[in-house]
Amino acid sequence: MGDLPGKLDAMVHKAGLDVLTPYGAPRRRNLRWLPLLILLALPAGYVLQVWVLRGGGAPFGFLWIAFAGAGLFWLAFGAAQLIRLFGPRVGWEGGALDERERMVKARAGSVAGSVLAALCAIGCFYGGYAAVFGAWMPASALEWVYLGLIIEAYALTLPVLVASWLQAPPDEDEE
């Protein structure tokens, strides 16, 4: 039978799945478009859920749209949790950073924090005026929780997006 654990280890290494273990280091990449897709999918999934659950698809019974919105939201939320492992090093994971990586991490965190703060401030102003003019506002605790999850996912994904655009594209021979 041979060395079964050794063969399994070799198979995991050839498949590239060893990056998910403590022994393998993920290959860092500039993820320029995937974070943007995640940032757009989160509010899209939220809107689909809220629209249907508030009666937007009531005459046709489009409850499946709410399930699709929930699936889109949670898929994007899960991707936001994992994207930091495969993008530029902007988090605490991965060990010591060199000077260039520290500079990119600092700038990405600064820009992402500023964007997130501006979005939250705009949301607060919108909420104040929406209450006065009767515009849309989250009505249930579930809607507020989902908005909080969107803010959390944005806080995880924006630094990866900014750091990916701050770095030069990789050379052709590095791929």
Q: Is residue 84 part of a domain?
A: yes
Q: Is residue 20 part of a domain?
A: no
Q: Is residue 4 part of a domain?
A: no
pLDDT of residue 121: 95
Q: Is residue 175 part of a domain?
A: no
Q: Is residue 48 part of a domain?
A: yes
175 falls in which pLDDT band (50, 70, 90)?
Answer: very low
At how many degrees (to 10) do helices 34-53 and 63-86 cross?
160
User: What does 98-121 look like in DSSP terms, one character per residue?
Assistant: -HHHHHHHHHHHHHHHHHHHHHHH
pLDDT of residue 76: 95
| Single-letter residue type at 9 | D
Distance CA 24, CA 15 (A): 12
Q: What percent of the chain has pLDDT over 90?
A: 31
Distance CA 156, CA 112 (A): 9
pLDDT in tens, 15-30: 766 666 656 665 666 7
120 falls in which pLDDT band (50, 70, 90)?
Answer: very high
> Domain range for residue 87?
27-168
Tokens of residue 140, six digits: 């249930």
pLDDT in tens, 28-58: 667 778 899 999 999 999 998 888 777 766 5
pLDDT of residue 131: 84
Cα–Cα distances (Å) from 56 to 40, 61, 73, 138, 139, in that order, read 21, 9, 18, 15, 14
Q: Is residue 144 part of a domain?
A: yes
The number of distinct structural domains making up the chain is: 1
At how many degrees (to 10) do helices 141-166 and 99-133 cross?
150
Q: Is residue 8 part of a domain?
A: no
